[in-house]
Structure formats: C-alpha cells, structure tokens
Structure 1
Amino acid sequence: MTGSVMLLDGASLWFRSFYALPEKMTSPDGRPVNALRGFLDTIAALVTEHRPTRLVVCLDVDWRPAFRTDLIPSYKAHRVADDSAGASDAEDVPDTLTPQVDMITEALRCAGITTSGAAGCEADDVIGTLAFDEAVDAVLVVSGDRDLLQVVADDPVQVRVLYVGRGLKNAELMGPAEVAAKYNVPTDRAGTAYAEMSILRGDPSDGLPGVPGIGDKTAAKLISEYGDLDVLEAAAYDAGSSLTKRARNSIVESKDYLAAARVVVAVRTDAETTESRDDDRLPTTPDDVDGLRTLVAELGVDSSVNRLAKALEWGETF
C-alpha cells in the first residue's frame, strides 16, 4: 500500500492503546499517558511499515448519531454511561482516558497530522466518505472495527482495511478477495455483502438484534445464494422460493428491522467532513515545534514523539 492515503479510526486505536498499556505510564506530574504513548507509537509503526504519503486521523464527532438511534434505539445503547440520575448520552469511557484524548488531539495538531470529523457522524462515516471520494491514491483504513470491512474496493482505487482487532502484530490486511474468502460472501460485492450479512446476523456489540434464527453461516449462505439482501427479502414473500419456512417467517417478521438496519449499518459516503488542515500529506516538519516541545516536557512522552519524528523523517529529536 505504498503511496497510499492512510485513514485511521482514531477512537478505535486510542481505546486499544489505553487497554494495551498500563496506566502506571504517567507524566512527571502523575497523569496517565498510556493511551497517548500507545497511539503515537501506533502511528509511528504504521507509517514505518506502510509508508503512506497522506494520513488522516478520523474522529467520532457523534459516536451514537441520532439518524441511527432514531431508527434502532438499541444501537450502542449498552455503551452509554449511567449516572445517578439515570442513563446519560455520554459514552462509558474510562476516567483516565478522557483527558488523554485532548492530549492526543493536541499532539496531532502540533505534529501537523490532519484530523477529520463530521457533525452528527461517527468516524466510520468520515472514513467511508473520504475513501469513497478518493480517486487518485490507494486507501488503507486502519481500525479494530469489523464494520469498516464494508468499504473494501478495487475500483476506482484500491481500498483495503488493516484490521487490528487482535493487535498490530496480528493485523489482517483485507480487500474484497480476503473478505469474500473469510466470510463466504460474493467477491464482486464483498464489502456490501459483508454489511448485508451483518444486518442479518446482528451484532450484540453494536446493539443490533439481527433476524431471529439467522447466524453467521446462514447469513453468508443466504446472501451468496440470493445475491443481495433485496432479492433475499423479496424471496421471503414469494411462496415459490426455495427459502425454508423458518427463514421466510423470520425475514417477514423482521421487515421493520431490516428497513432500519440498512441505514444504521451502512457506512455513510456523503458526510460533510471538516479537516483540521488543508493538506493531509505527511508533515515534513511539525506544524508547531514549540508546542510539541512543551507537550514533551509536560507529559514526558519524548520516546514516543521521537519514534513518530523518526517515522516521519523529520531529522530532529525532542
């Protein structure tokens, strides 16, 4: 994927950094910096390994958008933090991670690494939009979220997903062929077929109930046999189709869910993204050298910043 635009799923990666490294990693004044250090080390490792020419860290402006929860209220509902007054709209984020998100965004600003978000959208939607709009460079998406497998493509540019759900050392590079082989869906529409399979089987981690009685294998089999979800659903209403009575009844009874899930599960490709910088090329020098040095001095993250500087070939240390 050399010569590519790398799109990082920000929250996915810094959550993983937070849990991968001990909280005893602290700044000189005692603040945890494990997520910050892990996230910067992750970027350095990815840039060194894949040598992208452009890089964007994509952000969750709204991790539980209304356009999804209005359709399926259970969407990510189990991740909502509870307080003494009842459920709030806040994500259940560890107390020691929240301040590190601000540290991470400040480090990215000083380094000159572009971030992107979209009002009312998740990072997935930002990634989907940037990947869909790209017409020049190959795209490498890095995430621990399988939902993003739906963006893989070969045309008009290659879009690949580096799935890091089991860590960078065990990362899987997934394109249409790999998604099709692993999940038994049609190769010619592997990304969309994966999303349709996800709709059918459901996803407890996202609060998606799925169609009763249809699991991974059955979902993949049905999508492969009928070609797409629309044809499958039409077959459920056709008395002459080869669908089993059980599958037919489950699909018919799930009509409202299936209509809603098509919108909820699909990654948007039309989000109105806003970038922190006009240029997403890898920075040849930091945008704010003094700010970066101040951050290093205050937080004691010189080793991680220097690894990033080496990966970006800045030619200086901090």
Structure 2
Amino acid sequence: MQHDAVHDIDPDYIRELRFSKWCLRELAQILKCKRSGGQIVLPIFYKVEPSQMRHLKGRFGDAINAHKEDLAEMFVKEWEEALEEISCIKGWESEKIDNGHEGALVKIVVTKVLSELKGTFQLIVPQQLVGIDDHVKQIMSLIDAKFNGTWIIGIYGMGGIGKTTLAKALYNKFFDQFEYHSFVADCRETYQREGIKCLQKQLISSLGSWCDVSNVDEGLRLIKSRFAHKKALIFLDDIDDSAHLKYLVDCGWFKAGSIVIITTRNKDVLDQASAYHMYHLNELSLDQSLILFCRHAFQ
C-alpha cells in the first residue's frame, strides 16, 4: 500500500519539496532585510493565491511538513512566519492581471519599480530651503491637466536668486508623472565652452541612449525623432540666448502632456520661446530673509 502511494506522487514534486528549503530560506532572509534595513518588498504571487501561503495549503503545507522531521523546529517556525508575513504584503496575483497575461504583469511591475526608484534619480535640492514650497505651489496651480499640448514653464530673475533650486524642486515634483526625463545643467557655460551641439547631445542622451551629434542640423533631427512620441519632462538650466532654444525645444516636437522647464536671467528668452507660464522669482520677503539669516548665522 505504501509502495503504491509513493509511486502515485510525481517525482518532480518530490524534488521540489526537497529543494524548496532554499526558497524558504531566501524568503526568510528577504523579510529580515525588509525589517532591519527597510528594503522594499514587492511580492508577485505567480499562479498562487496569498491565502494558500498564509494558511499553508497545498504544496506550501507539504513543503513545511516535509522538513519538520529533519530540521530544527526554529527553522520551520521561521519559514511558516515568513510565508504568513509575505502573504499580507500587497502585491500582484498573476492570474488576476489581465486574465493571466504575463506581459501586462511585467509592464505593471516595471512601472512600479521605476516609481519606487524615482528618488534615486531626482535632482539634489538643499535641505531646509526657505520659501521654495510656496513658489512650487504657485506654479503647480497654473498647470491645467486638460491642456492638450506641451507646457513650457519659464522661471526668470537675477543671478543667484535661486532659479535653479526652484526649478529642481519643481522638476522633482513632476518626476513620477513621466517615464522620460532630461536635465541639461548650466546651458550658458556649456554653450560658451563647447557650443550648441554639446547641449543637443546632453538633451538626447538623457533619455538613456548615448548619441553623438556631428552638426547642429543632425542634432535637431535627432531631437525631433527621439522625442516625437515621448511624453517627457525636460529641464534646461540657465539659457541666456533665445537663439539657442530653437535648436533645443519646440512645442511641436514633443508628445502632448510634456513639460519643459527653462530658467534664465533674461525674460526676452521666454517671450520668444512662447512660454505658457513665466514666473518671476523675486527676492525673499523680510520674514523669509530673517529665517534664512538665522539658519546660517545660528545653525
């Protein structure tokens, strides 16, 4: 009777139970890292329901029971707790995503991972800024989600007043709404040293694919072709000549919903760029100036 029962079990299933302890160890270690180091865990329940893991049904229960006889109780208990813990973390059940279509699941997971990683790629902004949040809110309030075109937002003001810092904070605020991003820093200085081709190359390469630009016309063609079907967030820092912009951005080159942020000392640059919103960054108010002074003077 027992001999017949053994032969009724799939040999592959027996091997799976034998080696499942490595998977259970990995799972327990992953959750230890989550608890101790704050790592993000995104479970994918591939052709299994979380409740099966939580209540040790099916092969999960078989795997635990298979190891109870030859392993210390503490190990088995740890694995049981790991299965229960992972089942309570919000994730994706493969069979419930687009009727089990794995391509759709992959796309959702990749989007989520990129969203979680967004902080890694955001621009560095100094801590404890004074007055920046108010400026960001004012500019954000001007954005109309129903607008079917490309937004060009210009920030202008005297040198050293904080235009770049404000634009970085705004860029970070919009960041997670876009799959494609391009940041070109110190455009004025770069142009003086290396010319417009270098700016074009930086703009294109920010999409993730390196390119070489042999002349300005080729750069123009590449920008149009690379960005034509991409909803992108673009930041051009310190543009001082409107003639440069005609080789870098135009409302018609980008997919609807794209946003271009430009900082400049010269308001005429924004006039000729047909910016939808031009934000004049003035000096700090008396109260804000006092706060800033005290932070630096008295730490």
TM-score range, shorter chain: under 0.3
Q: Who wins on radius of gyration, i.e. which is larger?
A: 2
Higher normalized contact order (CA 8 Å, seq sep 6+, divided by chain length): 1
TM-score by length of 1: 0.24
TM-score by length of 2: 0.25
* The structure with more helix, counted as a fraction of residues: 2
